[in-house]
Structure 1
Amino acid sequence: MKRTLTFSRRVVTATFIALLLVALFGLIGYAASFFFLVFGSITVAVVISGLSHFVRRNVSLSYSLSVGLVMIILVVLIGGTIWALAPTVSRQADELAKSLPQSVIRLRDNLSQTELGRKVLEGIPDQPGQLLSAGGPGRGVLSQITGVVSGTLGGLANVLIVVIAGIYLASAPDNYRRGFVRLFSPSYRGRLLGVMDQCYTTLKNWFISRTITMTVVGLVTGVGLALLGIPFAIVLGIMAGVLNFIPNLGPYIALVPALLVAMPQGTNYLLYVMALYMGVQSLEGYILTPMLDKRFVSVPPALLLFGQVLLGVLVGLVGVLFASPLIAVLLVCVEELYVKDRLELKT
């Protein structure tokens, strides 16, 4: 009888956990914007707080003054970088935007000369206008312009919310931490604070690791393209560095415009550019990332890829962008709150 009750209890527990996971994924799917706004704000707060603690350790300032100093330094650095690079980057970006459509047309013409290429082109509209929505050309163009403008404004508003909320969280992190743990039993609050500290350290280390890899990839790619004589090397290098924020998928996305730009210069340059990008990714994947993982934080590559696919299906691009830090934090929570507190305590 007792064994039957134990088995029934396990079935009920497993069913409850399964339903809870389904509800969680459903909630992420329906409230994705809010969820990732909160997570993005927490990430920004972790970065600001980590820099502020670093300043506080090396300069005799209070935490509040350290936060203010960090914000001033960040504004000066970001503003100075934009001021210094804006003319060149703007010019190259404008020229790149004009060059890419011509490269796409040239690629279409090359593919149409082979049987395999013609099969690839089947089903792809010959004219860009055919991609517009139904209801007439004018209405399609208007709807696209409206969608782009609204999407851009929405994205900028979200970024502004994330930054402002992150500053608020970083200015008084202990208040929010204590307020959150008060929702739980007093006997468990100390444990939760410890886990939150580990999540904070994991997010901070993840950001340091990503920043280093993005910087190295962007610099090496830009310098390599410039040495090869590829146009728009600065913009393509920046794109390679920024897109490296997305593990696994970002480098291949960055490769596409570089190949299109190199195409008019001949097959040899296509091979040179591909070799450069593959070499940079080998440097990042086999040397830089393992070295940083030992020092900072490591996320299993297969788990990260599955997480990117799952979050991409559930919430789209923003899920792919935040998959890496989110999985890193979830690994800490599962290890501490489930493996150690539930499984290992029973054995």
Structure 2
Amino acid sequence: MSDAHPHVVQGASPNEVRNPETRAEMRRAAVWIGMVCAVALVVLLVQPLLIIFAGLVFASMLDGGVRLLGRVLPIGRGWRLLIVCLLTVAFLMGTFYLTGVQVAAQFSQLRATLEFQAVRVTGWLTQQGLMPGASDVSDIAQQALGSVGRLTSWVGTAAGALTTFFMILVIGLFIAMDPRVYDRGLQWMIPQDQRHEFAVVVQRMSHTLRRLLAGRLLGMAFEGVLTAIALWLVGVPMALILGILTGLLAFIPNIGAFISGALMVAVGFSAGLNTGIAAIVVYFVVQTFDGYVVIPMVAKRTVDLPPALTLGTQILASALFGILGLALADPMTAMVKTALERRSEKVEDEEGGASEGIA
């Protein structure tokens, strides 16, 4: 059997498109279909992507500490990273060792106090005709305190959260060890004519993220310590745990301050009317001082995000991605803002160059 002269069927195939306009439309449709598939894939993998982004945020925190330590210790990056990790672990272990028993007892007391205060408030509202009957009050209180209950029992029940937290730490640590490897990998995926601009944008976004996190950690520490001392001076129970919670919740501006204030007021009124009023005064004094003195001073040296923009982003992120999205809303906003500002600068430079050429 010979293959020298095969019989070839003549004529166009039914699936062959020779019209150039039809081919162009098909390519456009393929692009849109690809974008839709990419968006669907992102929605499907949103939780892993958030974990990876949280690892990047943690890596930026470690990188900021390494860079800060490099100003005083002229040693290798690996040794500086080791020192930062050891200091972080020592601080956490020392804090839990010194206050672990007291914090654990205060967590249980805080939960019981909040439940009792919720029952009192709902009972008073029921008497005023502003709430349903007494049979539904307990169910509403349980639903309202569901998030608080999960928060106070997180250590014993949230195995998934522990796994997520561990993965964030591991990803952040590996990236902080040698960030240039991952930077080169990302640039390799970008076309050559766009790599310089991509490198500039990534560098600016990394710088912005480090400054944002540095300012946020400083504000968290200051607000937590100031709240704990002020509550202790006015005699509010559980001042230590309230200070720790206030410092942790300060990572989420606006919403975190509202939650910590509600906790302070509830615990304060559980100890009496005067103590509750003192807790309210402490909350407003701390928030006023933090909002008008600390935050503006930190924002001048870090990243100044508009409050309405951050609050709107937090609402959207919490609705779409849950508590992890709420915690990462500010870093996302800062990075997007930096990228858009760089794009605006590039457009202005191109327009300025074009106007000079015309002149």
Tell me which interval the TM-score lies in, with the shorter structure as reference length.
0.7 to 0.9
Q: CA separation in 2, counterparts of 1:248 and 1:29? A: 27
Q: 2:137 aligns with which of 126, 142, 145?
A: 126
Q: CA separation in 2, counterparts of 1:188 and 1:271? A: 59
Map 1:227-306; keep pairs closer than 5 Å: 227-306=233-312
Q: 2:345 aligns with which of 334, 340, 344?
A: 340
The corresponding residue for 2:210 is: 204
Q: 1:268 Cα shift? A: 3.4
The corresponding residue for 2:322 is: 316
* 8 Å contact kept, 1:67–1:171: yes
Q: CA separation in 1, counterparts of 2:141 and 2:130? A: 19
Higher-Rg structure is 2
Q: CA separation in 1, counterparts of 2:134 and 2:48? A: 37
Q: CA separation in 2, counterparts of 1:225 and 1:150? A: 28
Q: 1:216 Cα shift? A: 1.4
Q: Which residue identity is paired with 1:32?
A: V
Tell me which of the two structures has the higher relative contact order, counting C-alpha pairs closer than 8 angstroms and 6 or more residues apart: 1
Per-residue CA deviations over 1:137-168 (Å, capped at 9, x if unaligned) read xxxxxxx9xx9899711111011001001111
Map 1:127-142; keep pairs closer than 5 Å: 127-128=138-139
* 8 Å contact kept, 1:28–1:314: no
Q: CA separation in 1, counterparts of 2:135 and 2:299? A: 43
Per-residue CA deviations over 1:219-252 (Å, capped at 9, x if unaligned) read 1111111111111111111111111111111111
Q: 1:109 Cα shift? A: 2.8
Q: Which residue identity is paired with 2:114?
A: L
User: CA 1:264/1:98 → structure 2, altered by over 3 Å: closer, same or farther?
Assistant: closer
Q: CA separation in 2, counterparts of 1:166 and 1:271? A: 43
1:89 aligns with 2:103: yes
* 8 Å contact kept, 1:239–1:254: yes
Q: CA separation in 2, counterparts of 1:309 and 1:216? A: 25
Q: CA separation in 1, counterparts of 2:156 and 2:124? A: 36
| Structure 1, unaligned runs of 5 or more | 1-12, 133-143
* 8 Å contact kept, 2:270–2:276: no
Q: CA separation in 2, counterparts of 1:150 and 1:33? A: 22
The corresponding residue for 1:55 is: 69
Q: CA separation in 2, counterparts of 1:27 and 1:228? A: 53
Per-residue CA deviations over 1:77-110 (Å, capped at 9, x if unaligned) read 2211211111221222222223222222222333
Q: What SS does the corresponding residue of 2:130 show, helix, strand or coil?
A: helix
Q: CA separation in 2, counterparts of 1:224 and 1:25? A: 48
Q: 1:120 Cα shift? A: 3.2
Q: CA separation in 1, counterparts of 2:38 and 2:127? A: 51
Q: Which residue identity is paired with 2:345?
A: K
Q: CA separation in 1, counterparts of 2:81 and 2:141? A: 52
Q: 1:73 Cα shift? A: 1.9
Q: 1:122 Cα shift? A: 5.7
User: CA 1:298/1:228 → structure 2, altered by over 3 Å: closer, same or farther?
Assistant: same
Q: What SS does the corresponding residue of 1:193 show, helix, strand or coil?
A: helix
TM-score normalised by length of structure 2? 0.79
Q: CA separation in 2, counterparts of 1:212 and 1:267? A: 33
Map 1:157-168; keep pairs closer than 5 Å: 157-168=163-174
Map 1:41-120; keep pairs closer than 5 Å: 41-114=55-128, 118-120=129-131
User: CA 1:148/1:54 → structure 2, altered by over 3 Å: closer, same or farther?
Assistant: closer
* 8 Å contact kept, 1:64–1:171: yes
| Structure 2, unaligned runs of 5 or more | 1-27, 144-149, 353-359
Q: CA separation in 2, counterparts of 1:179 and 1:226? A: 51
Q: What SS does the corresponding residue of 1:127 show, helix, strand or coil?
A: helix
Q: What SS does the corresponding residue of 2:127 show, helix, strand or coil?
A: coil
